[in-house]
C-alpha cells in the first residue's frame, strides 16, 4: 500500500468575499457588468458607491462595449461607401468588398466575445485586469 504524498498548504492568503454597496459580492457584480455590456456597466457604475473594484470593471465594460460597437458601425459605414464607389466600377468588386466586410465583422465579433469572456473570468477571479488602452481610461474614470 502506498502512502499519499503530504498535502502542502498554500502560502497565499485566503480570498475573502467582500460585498459591494449593491449587496452582491464584488466579483459577481463585476462579472455582471461585463455580461450585460454597456448597460450593465452603466448600471453598476452609477449605483456602486464604495467598491473601486466594481466601479473599475463597470467602466472598463462600458469602454469595451463602446469600442466594440463603434468598430462594428465604422466598419459597416466604410464598407457601404466602398461598395457604392466600387459598384460604379464593377459589381464584382462591390461583392468582394461585402464578402471581406462580413469576414472582418465576424473576426471583430469573435474577438469581442473572447475579450468579454476573458474580462469576466478575470473579474470573477478578483483581479484588476486592465485592457491595453481602455484599462487606463477605466482606471482614471472610476476613481472620480
3-class DSSP state of 42: helix
The answer as to whether 9 is a domain residue is no
The answer as to whether 8 is a domain residue is no
The answer as to whether 12 is a domain residue is no
Residue 107 has what pLDDT? Answer: 96
Tell me the whole-structure pTM to 2 decimals: 0.81
Number of structural domains in the chain:
1
Domain residue limits at 115:
26-142
The answer as to whether 14 is a domain residue is no
Half-sphere exposure of 106 (CA within 13 A, CB side): 6
CA 133 to chain centre: 12
**What is d(CA 104, CA 96) in angstroms, rounded to the nearest whole number?**
12
Helix, strand, coil % in the chain, rounded to nearest 5: 70, 0, 30
The answer as to whether 6 is a domain residue is no
Residue 20 has what pLDDT? Answer: 81
| Close Cβ partners of 31 (under 8 Å, ≥ 6 residues apart) | 120, 123, 124
The answer as to whether 18 is a domain residue is no
**What is d(CA 126, CA 56) in angstroms, rounded to the nearest whole number?**
12
Residue 90 has what pLDDT? Answer: 86
The answer as to whether 4 is a domain residue is no
138, 56 Cβ separation under 8 angstroms: yes
| Averages of pLDDT over each 10 residues, the chain, 144 residues | 48 59 90 94 93 94 96 94 88 89 95 95 93 93 84
The answer as to whether 42 is a domain residue is yes
Amino acid at each position: 500500500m502506498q502512502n499519499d504524498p503530504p498535502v502542502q498548504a498554500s502560502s497565499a492568503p485566503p480570498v475573502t468575499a467582500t460585498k459591494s454597496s449593491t449587496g452582491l459580492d464584488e466579483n459577481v457584480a463585476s462579472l455582471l457588468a461585463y455580461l450585460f455590456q454597456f448597460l450593465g456597466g452603466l448600471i453598476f457604475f452609477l449605483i456602486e458607491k464604495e467598491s473601486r473594484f466594481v466601479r473599475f470593471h463597470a467602466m472598463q465594460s462600458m469602454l469595451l462595449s463602446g469600442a466594440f460597437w463603434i468598430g462594428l458601425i465604422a466598419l459597416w459605414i466604410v464598407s457601404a461607401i466602398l461598395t457604392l464607389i466600387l459598384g460604379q466600377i464593377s459589381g464584382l468588386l462591390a461583392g468582394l468588398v461585402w464578402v471581406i466586410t462580413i469576414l472582418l465583422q465576424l473576426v471583430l465579433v469573435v474577438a469581442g466575445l473572447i475579450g468579454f469572456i476573458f474580462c469576466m473570468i478575470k473579474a470573477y477571479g478578483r483581479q484588476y485586469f486592465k485592457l491595453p488602452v481602455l484599462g487606463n481610461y477605466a482606471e482614471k474614470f472610476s476613481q472620480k
